[in-house]
Each structure stands twice: as structure tokens, then as C-alpha cells.
Chain A
Amino acid sequence: MTAPSALRLISAGIGEMVVSDDLDAVLVAYGLGSCIALAAHDGRRGVAGLAHFMLPTGSRSAETPVKFVDPGLEVFIEAFVAAGGDPARATYKAAGGAAMLRLGGANLDIGQRNIEALRQGLERRGLRLVAADLGGSTGRTVQLEARSGRLFIRSIAGTKTL
């Protein structure tokens, strides 16, 4: 999954998103644990986006616009449209939402809650995932290839492509 040097890697940190109309861009979210990454790709208009959500719900923040699935999903779709993408025609893929540790704290199963929040948020907008690698107990790094819409997922177990 090594990107040729002509490709441009753009990273979405925790709570951040990247949207690009550069077909040579590769959008990346590193080291997802409970976090969840949503990839959107409109091949006809050449727009790709990647959001790196942390938690299911919370307040909107300018610094980390997609920190929360709700309301971050709306913010992400607005940015996708602003870049020229058509959300109704785009394909959506997602990865993350793992639970690597049995946590002792109060807010258990954040990964699972993130997954449910994302599925519900997409459903409310009439959108659906065409492919996903969600849950489990493994950390993931995801790369969205803007030209093809392929989503590469790297984990300790190996690499897969959606």
C-alpha cells in the first residue's frame, strides 16, 4: 500500500476531516482505535473526503469539526458538497470502532456507539455504507485513494482493501 511519490498524502487527525478534488491525493487517518473513519467518494466529480470521528455525540467545535459523529457528519457532508461532490451519488465506506481493551471507566463500548451513531446518521440522510471494516479488537490505519475510491486498511493483522 506504499503510495507512489507523485501521490499527495493528506492526513486527517483525530476530530479532523479532509476533502479534496485532487485526484492524486491520498487521504489518511492513522492509528484508529475506538475512533471511526468515514470515506466518501464521488468518482464522477472527482471529489474524495475522509472524516476521523472520535465520539458519537457532542457539541460542534471549530477546531475539531468532526470530533463527534453527531453533528460532525453534517459538517463533513457540507464540506463534501462545497468541494463539488454530490453526497447522493457518492459511495461511503467506513473503518474503525474497535475495542482493544476492557476499559474500567464509565463510558464503555465507545467504538460500538460510534458505529451505531454513524449508521443512524447516514440512514437519516438516506445514505448507506457500501463497504465497512468495523468493530473487532484491532487498531487500523486507513488510506483513501482519491482517484479510485479504494480504501486501504492496515492493521497488525495485515492489509485489506475495500
Chain B
Amino acid sequence: MQTMELDEAALATRFTGAMVCAGEALAEMSGRPIRIATPAVRPCSPDEVVAMAGGPEAIVVGVYLGVSGGLQGHALLVLEPGSARRLAALLLDGLADDGPAAEPEAGQLGELERSALGEIGNVTISAFLNEIGRRSANPIQPTPPQVVVEMAGAIVDGILLDLLGSTERVLAAHTVFHDGDDRIHALLLVLPDPARLPELLADRPRPSA
């Protein structure tokens, strides 16, 4: 099994650049002053990640994208259900209920909300993949997003097992969506193939084909 020796400063820089792009895209889509920040990014163990998501039994909303091409792996945006609904409402602009009074029971996201969250996850995760993909000779290709409402432990174990044997570290970025003064907290997880990620983080030009 390979360890994931990463330049954490380079990693933070990539996340920051990616989130600026993702924020601009979401602002354009929603017509609202959205920006995204990732104040903390670091490699974590699966247990740490599950704890950060609220514990193994915490019901969370996960937006999942598989990753292939220049980087193999998985990416997941994790939100507490109330936060997920508020985030969806930003994009739906009042079509979905907003505010704490509308906090749903587990599994009660509407189709519009699922669709909006899928798009938000797609934009956010793809921005990071684009940022690191500039250094890859092969394009990095995400799958369409999947939105699930489930126990945090069950979601993380499902995607972790696919890479087990190659890595047991997860890149975890505390992610904050800003809409003016309003803040919505999320966790952006990237489970990469450790053989490729350090190379993609290195600050060097894209190799010629």
C-alpha cells in the first residue's frame, strides 16, 4: 500500500483556485453573490472523516462523482441535511423551502433539490478536477453526480473500499459556501489514486502528448 506524501501547501493552493472558479460558476447560475472557501484541507483517515461528518450513524447528504482518466478515484461533497436543503435553495431561488423551519426528515429531499445538489456537487468537484487536470496528459473525467441521503459511515465505507489496497487516506476539505453573510458548511472529500496525485500537484507544466 502506498502512503500519500503530499505537498499540503500545493494542495491548499489548488483547492483555493478551484473554489474561486466554482463560486463564480454558481454565482452566475444562481444570480446570487456566491463564493466558496476551503479554510482547511488535509489528508485524513476514514475514521476521522466519518467523525467530521457527524459520526457513522449521522444521516448526511452526499453528492458523489467517480473519477477516471488522468486520475482514478472518487469525490464526495457531504452536507448535513438542513445545510443541503439551504444550499439547494440558493440555486432554486425560492422554489425549495429555505431556513431552519424547513429542515427535512432523513430521505426527504425533493427531486428539484436533488437535481440542484447534483449540479452544485458537479460544479464544485469538477472545478477541483480541472485545476489539477491542467498538469495531466490524460483528461480527468468525472461521472455524472449521484445524490444519496444515508448514514455517513455507510457512504464513506462504500467509496473507500473501492480504493482499499492502494490508499487509506482521504483528502478532506472543510468547505464553506458564502451567500452574502450567510454561510453553509460542507465537507469535500477526494479519494484519489495515490500513485498519481502527488505528481499532479507538482508545480510544473503539463507534459506534451
Q: Please list the residues of chain A having a beta carbon within 8 angstroms of any beta carbon in chain B.
A: 13-14, 30-35, 54-55, 58, 98-108, 110-111, 138-141, 154-157
Contacts of A138 in B (CB 8 A): 150, 154
Contact of A141 with B151 at beta-carbon distance under 8 Å, contacts A31-B50, A104-B68 already known: yes
Q: How many residue-residue contacts, CB under 8 A, span A and B?
A: 105
Name B47's closest neighbour in chain A (CB-CB).
Answer: A13
Instruction: Return the contact of B162 from the options A14, A35, A107 (Cβ within 8 A).
Output: A107
A104 and B158 contacting across the interface, CB-CB below 8 Å: no
4 more CB-based (< 8 A) A-B contacts, given A14-B157, A55-B164, A101-B159:
A32-B157, A55-B161, A103-B162, A139-B154
A105 and B150 contacting across the interface, CB-CB below 8 Å: no
Contacts of A30 in B (CB 8 A): 55-57, 151, 153
Q: Tell whether B149 is near chain A: CB-to-CB under 8 Å.
A: yes
Contacts of A155 in B (CB 8 A): 151
Instruction: State A55–B151 Cα separation when bound (angstroms).
Output: 19
A156 and B107 contacting across the interface, CB-CB below 8 Å: yes
A31 and B64 contacting across the interface, CB-CB below 8 Å: no
Contacts of A31 in B (CB 8 A): 50, 56-57, 151-154, 156-157
Q: Tell whether B30 is near chain A: CB-to-CB under 8 Å.
A: no
Contact of A139 with B161 at beta-carbon distance under 8 Å, contacts A31-B50, A100-B155, A105-B73 already known: no
B64 and A101 contacting across the interface, CB-CB below 8 Å: yes
B64 to chain A, nearest CB (A): 5
Q: Which 5 pairs from chain A and chain B are nearest by CB? A: A31-B153, A104-B66, A139-B154, A31-B56, A33-B154
Contacts of A157 in B (CB 8 A): 107
Contact of A102 with B158 at beta-carbon distance under 8 Å, contacts A30-B57, A55-B164, A141-B56 already known: no
